[in-house]
Amino acid sequence: MKNNKITGALCLLALAVPAFVPPVWGQGADWALYGGAGGRRFSSLAQITRANVGTLAEAWRFDMAEAGDPQTHPLAIGGVVYAYTPGLDTIALDGGSGKLLWRFHSGVKAGGPQRGLAMWGKGRDKRLFAAAGNYLYALDPSSGKPLPGFGTGGRIDLREGLGRDPDKVSLALTAPGAIWRDMIIMGFRTAESAPAAPGDIRAFDVRTGKLRWSFHTIPHPGEPGYESWPPDYWKSGGGANAWPGMVLDEKRGLVFAPTGSAVSDFYGADRGGDNRYANSLLALDANTGKLLWHFQGVHHDVADRDFPSPPVLLTLLRDGKAVNAVAQATKQGYLFVLDRVTGKPLFSVTEVQVAQSDLETLSPTQPVPSLPAPYARQHLSEDLLTNRTPQAHAWAVEQFRSFANDGPFPHMRLGQQTLAFPGFDGGAEWGGQASANGILYLNSNDVAWTGGLADSVAVHGLGARLYQDNCAACHGPDRKGAPPAFPSLLDSKLIDGQMADVIRSGRGRMPAFNLAGENMMALLNYVRSGEDKEMAAAPATAASPAYRFTGYRKFLDPDGYPAVAPPWGTLSAIDLSSGTYLWRIPLGEYPALADKSTGSENYGGPILTAGGVLFIAATLYDKKIRAFDPRNGTLLWQAQLPYAGNATPITYIAKGRQYVLIQADNARDKKSPQGAAYVAFALPNR
């Protein structure tokens, strides 16, 4: 196929052909669309094959000498790569050499990821849509200059038009928009606690930036779903936002949008009800924004169980017939496979009873699919705790016993940590999945986290309060003690575990204290620093809920490894016609445990090529990119990256040669040297 911006669109039309022909459709020479056509992350390129991938070598590297975490899945069109720097400048690179062609510095101060871009073209009019924080820019792809006719000076502010004071809402464009005809359909990321923007999904005119339609994910009065919230929540509440990115079914004119939880994430007494359309997959008419169907994955979520990945449009077989399906991955390890037109589950979904909270009314049940089986473990028990060393195991057992454990639908408690397993980062994540021939290739995390709630109105943080209540009498309000009878705690040589032992067991004149879990951690932290590590307790206002989250905590052993037994990260191939696994392997290594095939946490997704190769980096600690045989999960090739490839690769042609490109950085591994780069691989020149 030619280098053509609408190759992706043409290829989607190819979906009309019967399924299970060899996957010849794809994106041609380009990677023209975020996540590829139908979100399948599939390329029809076949220069690099199973047979020759073993000789793949680094072709060029664009090192940005800058720390950050853009998580970018670039575009490559006509041999030009469009991407972001860690400082979130938009850049264009020569796809064959990595040479910088232009750089657009918006001047907007923005943190957080920008995962991709979107290209629109009609005749000579071409527009590259790039994000900078809450701004969407229309750039001239040949120069990187903003196109003045779009919005104001080439940009629109996504904070406007949400019915809130734009200066009081914080939002960021993490995923690029979906291009439909002459519109760009946008979601965004917003704050996880109040005040947050309502997650309206909006279509803007690609030429002018004017609003064309808006869908309220928190319905307004008179709109269906309004009754699933308290009457006035839509005015002040936020979230239910489509942050992972949307996928178009161009043949049907449908846009599929996955949404996240409502705010605040972990305590929802002020948003009683099922909270439609939070945690939902929405099928919207791309022309009008009208809702065709919805599927809610978590009712009244209180565990940050956003739908974390863009959905994948695929064709599977049912009773010998091709069925157009959409697959939605989750943080909790379920894959929902739905009929694309009706939204009806293609594997039955049962509402199962879930644990209830003392603090608020939760949904009595939550949806669980019969197939495929979960791709991450669901229930943590003592026999699933780490056995890396006997000490680590004993430590983990003790911690585990102090946690509340609700299974896959946890709710948080006051003064006690609750397990989230899989953790708050899944299960699946934002990297998405790859697919061809009705098979889905999915990488997953498989570690436990914990979280808890604390009183919002407490004057002190938890650690300070515990200290003042229990310890100050002897060790003084300033921790200086009264030596020699009462030792100062400021210069204690004890490590945390030993200090916890002293506190729990008592010593000399010091009594024992029955403290564990979150309380112990907060107290130890306060004893060390004289400060509460958690955010200072905000004074309560009418808008702030009674309880606040005490922080995302990974359940790690004292040496920093996950305190659950491996695998800590996996890669699976799942046949969605039958709902069964073709294969499943650990993904990633901890260098010190490399012989143990533990897998590791991974962020960023796979891609698949007609050459019969699956490429994935994603792993946190080994900093490798790998090629697997999609038929059986055999490792075909791997290469060391300068930083962790926490992004989804792309593949494209430049000057006749096929490249595989990955963005890498160490933002999620603070112990390693910080920096970021784009690294391209190709077959050696013959």
Q: What does residue 221 show for φ and ψ, rounded to 5 degrees?
A: -50, 135
Q: How far is the CB of 551 from ligand HEC (least distance, A)?
A: 20
In the bound state with ligand HEC, the residue whose beta carbon lies nearer, of 111 and 511, is 511
487 binds ligand HEC, rule: CB under 6 A = yes
Q: How far is the CB of 512 from ligand HEC (least distance, A)?
A: 9
507 binds ligand HEC, rule: CB under 6 A = yes
* 484 prior amide bond cis, ω within 30: yes
In the bound state with ligand HEC, the residue whose beta carbon lies nearer, of 463 and 675, is 463
Stated length of the chain:
686
Q: How far is the CB of 530 from ligand HEC (least distance, A)?
A: 12
Per the CB < 8 A criterion, the answer to whether 212 and 186 are in contact is no
In the bound state with ligand HEC, the residue whose beta carbon lies nearer, of 336 and 467, is 467
Tokens of 364: 């009595």
347 binds ligand HEC, rule: CB under 6 A = no
In the range 521-540, which residues lie near ligand HEC by CB under 6 A? Answer: 523, 527
Stretch that binds ligand HEC, among 163-171, 392-400, 488-496, 590-598 (CB under 6 A): 488-496
502 binds ligand HEC, rule: CB under 6 A = yes
Q: What does residue 364 show for φ and ψ, rounded to 5 degrees?
A: -65, -25
637 binds ligand HEC, rule: CB under 6 A = no
474 binds ligand HEC, rule: CB under 6 A = yes
Per the CB < 8 A criterion, the answer to whether 587 and 414 are in contact is no
473 binds ligand HEC, rule: CB under 6 A = yes
Applying CB under 6 A, among 2, 109, 124, 509 the residue interacting with ligand HEC is 509
Neighbours of 546 (CB within 10 A): 15
Distance CA 311, CA 451 (A): 28
Q: How far is the CB of 472 from ligand HEC (least distance, A)?
A: 8
End-to-end Cα distance, the chain: 23
Distance CA 139, CA 148 (A): 9
In the range 199-238, which residues lie near ligand HEC by CB under 6 A? Answer: none
How distant, in Å, are the alpha carbons of 267, 351, 419 from that of 365?
17, 5, 19
Per the CB < 8 A criterion, the answer to whether 203 and 185 are in contact is yes
**What b/e sequence results for 569-599 when a residue is b if at least 16 CB atoms lie within 10 Å of its CB, and e otherwise?**
bbbbbbbbbebeebbbbbbbbbeeeeeeebb
Q: How far is the CB of 556 from ligand HEC (least distance, A)?
A: 22
By CB under 6 A, the count of residues binding ligand HEC is 21
In the bound state with ligand HEC, the residue whose beta carbon lies nearer, of 361 and 498, is 498
Applying CB under 6 A, among 439, 499, 576, 614 the residue interacting with ligand HEC is 499
Stretch that binds ligand HEC, among 125-133, 370-378, 482-490, 570-578 (CB under 6 A): 482-490
Distance CA 650, CA 338 (A): 27
Neighbours of 143 (CB within 10 A): 12
Per the CB < 8 A criterion, the answer to whether 615 and 626 are in contact is yes
Q: How far is the CB of 490 from ligand HEC (least distance, A)?
A: 9
Q: How far is the CB of 471 from ligand HEC (least distance, A)?
A: 3
Stretch that binds ligand HEC, among 124-132, 229-237, 278-286, 508-516 (CB under 6 A): 508-516
The footprint of ligand HEC (CB under 6 A) covers 470-471, 473-475, 486-487, 489, 492, 494, 499, 502-503, 507-511, 513, 523, 527
